[in-house]
Structures are given as C-alpha cells and as structure tokens.
Amino acid sequence: MSFLAWLLVSVGLMLLLAAWAVWHRGQRIRRCIAELLALPTDMHPLRWPEKAHPILGRAGVAGIDWDGVWFGDAVCGHWGPPTEAHWPSQTLHAGPDCQITLRWADVARTDEARALTLAVVDVFAQTWLSRMRERTQAVAVALAQRAHVQLYWQHDMRNLAQWVDLLAEEFSTATPDQLPRLAQRLQRQAPLLQARAQKLLAATEAPAENLTKDTPLADARHLLDNAAELAGLALEVHAMAGAPKLPALPLDAPQAEALERALDNIFSNIARDSTARHNATPMSCECRVQDGALHARLHTPKLATPWPRRAFEPLKSSTGSGMGLYQARRSLRDAQGDLQASETPEGVIFSIVVPLSSTQRQEI
C-alpha cells in the first residue's frame, strides 16, 4: 500500500476517533443535563448548587462561586479552586428581593468541549433561576392572599393574643406570694393593652389610610419601653458609647407605626424563649442619632434555641405564622428604615434604623 493510502487511512481513523470522542462527550453531557433536571423539586433553592455539585463536576466544571441577596440577607457559596477575575459570570434575577451572581470555571481544552460544558452550566443556571422564581412567586401569592385580610393588622392581633396568653400563663402558675407583683405589672400594662386593642378595633372600622391622620408625633423611646413592657421583658435604653446624651426621638405616624410593629414582632419572638423571659438582667438597647435617623442596637440574652439561618425569609418558620420577622423588616424598610440581626455568643443583636420626624430633625 502506498504512502498516500496509509495517510488517507490514518486521517480517516483520526477523524473517526475524533467523531467518537465528540459523540461520547455529547452522551455524557446529555446524561448530566438529564440528572440536573431530575433533581428533587422540593428542596430549598439555596441548596441547589450543593446538590448539583457532583453533576457539574462530571460535566467538566472545575468550580463555581456565587453570592447575592436572598430576601434581604447576604448569601454566598463556593467550591473548586479560588475564584479568579476571568471566570465567566451570570446574574440571576428572581425579583426585587432575590438576586444572585454566578461565576464558574471549566477544565475543557477545546472550543467544542467548552461549548458542551457551557450548555450544562446554562441548564444549571436556568433551572436554578426557575426554582428561585417558584419560591419568590409562592411568597408573592401568599402575601397577596394575606393582604386581603389586612396582613399587618392580623399579625398585630396575634401578637396581642400572645401577650395575653403569656400573662394568663404567669397568673395561672403564680403562687399567692407572686400574685401582688403580677397584679402591679398588669396595672402598668393595662393602658398599653387598651390602646393597642382600640387601635385594632379602629382598623376594622375605618380605612387604613385614615388611621394615622392627624396623629401626634410619637417618641421612639416610649415605643421601645412599651413593647418591652407588654412582652414582660426588662429593657435599659441608653446612648451608645461616645454618643451624646439621647435627645427626644420624635417620629412621624408612618415611622412610629413601622417601629411599633417591628418591635412587637421582635419582642414577641424573644418572649417565647424561656431563657430570655426569665433572665434577671435587663436587655440593653444602645441608641444614637445620625443623619436624621435613630440607630438602635438591641442586645438579647443568650437564647435557649439557636437563632435560625435566614430568619427574615417569609413562610420559613416551622412555628407561628412564619411572617413576623419578615413583616418587622418590611415595615421598617417601607418607612425608609431597616432591620438587621446577627447572632453572637452572648445572644442576638438587632440593628434598627428609623428616620426621625422631618419637622424636628434640625432641632436634634
């Protein structure tokens, strides 16, 4: 056989091997895509990268890195080599409260292999986005349904009922020697409870937009003291270290209502914890005024149950309505404030921001 014939046979074999390699790689990619689509649909969206990790590895993905915001909380994850600036990226938008930026690296050496790996990454990203949107849409539907029964006021009534329940529990288990102290506490709480009850009754009789009409300014410190008193918790409010003595802290009606609702939800969660409720040391609330807003740090004692991850995600809690802390943050953000929480070895720190009254900021 001539040299030319051998050359043609060799080239043919090489092409055949190359075609077989492409076919084999394509089959592997097809199986990877099928495995991605077959993953359970009932898992939490933030577990999706962890579950897809082995499949992406078999598809030629060397590593991924992702970070973003999930219902107001910063979230992130990583596996593989350290992230480098040249890694491709894609941002997944699942609504105003949920955006995640995904970066990845692959080990492909040819354009064809890289294209096949990219196909798997695209399926991974789009399926993840679909899971996130399913979650956010479920939340949106739930919120819309609850809005028909005046969601905020419904939860305010629940908080009020919870305080009454805690008070009834204390009275039912009190000894004769403890009854006078509880009666004095009930006498202190009676005006606060009556005011809350009258506000809730008014909410069922008048449009919500008329409830705060011509409402006088409220003082943020009184709202802090009142919320702690209703929950049966001791609280000390003072200026932050290095800050001047606290002035009056006037709030317009929308900001006062938002802060009151946030505090009610915060303190109701703390009051459910037996360790916090029977703690002899008062909780500390450090305050300062900055840029026309009140900045407060509320320190809880060490709680009996660990502080949950992503505590502000709605419908996540296995107890209660699953909406309390979400409403606390949402109400403050709607009033141009904010609420954050972080766990420390000593307890949880709630960081609260609420704008002060626009008519009196210049005086503070």
Q: What is the fold, at CATH topology level, of the domain defined by 3-144?
A: Beta-Lactamase (3.30.450)
What are the tens digits of pLDDT across the range 253-303? 889 989 998 998 898 888 888 788 778 788 999 999 998 999 999 999 988
What are the tens digits of pLDDT across the range 309-353? 888 888 777 666 677 888 889 889 989 999 999 999 889 999 999
Residue 29: the pLDDT is 82
Residue 210: the pLDDT is 47
- Domain residue ranges of the chain, discontinuous segments joined by +: 3-144, 150-363
Sheet holding 347-355, edge to edge: 235-239, 283-290, 293-299, 347-355, 338-344
Q: What is the fold, at CATH topology level, of the domain defined by 150-363?
A: Heat Shock Protein 90 (3.30.565)
Residue 138: pLDDT over 50: yes
Structural Rg of the chain based on CA atoms? 29
Q: Check residue 40 and report its DSSP letter.
A: -
Q: Please state whether beta strands 283-290 and 235-239 pair in parallel, antiparallel, or not at all (unpaired).
A: parallel
At 72, list the tokens: 């107001």
Residue 235: the pLDDT is 92
Extract long-range pairs of 146-154: CB within 8 Å, 24+ residues apart: 146/323, 150/203, 150/208, 151/323, 151/327, 152/261, 152/327, 152/331, 153/200, 153/203, 153/204
At 26, the pLDDT band (50, 70, 90 cuts) reads: low
Strand, helix or coil for residue 149: coil
Phi, psi of 192, deg, nearest 5: -65, -45
Percent of the chain with pLDDT over 70: 83
pTM: 0.64
Q: Which comes out higher in pLDDT, residue 43 or 170?
A: 43
The whole-angstrom separation of Cα 174 and Cα 169 is 8
What are the tens digits of pLDDT across the range 172-222? 888 888 888 888 878 887 887 777 777 777 766 654 444 444 556 789 999
Strand, helix or coil for residue 237: strand
The yes-or-no answer to whether 3-144 and 150-363 have a common fold is no
Residues in Cβ contact with 70 at an 8 Å cutoff, skipping those fewer than 6 apart: 46, 97, 98, 100, 310, 313
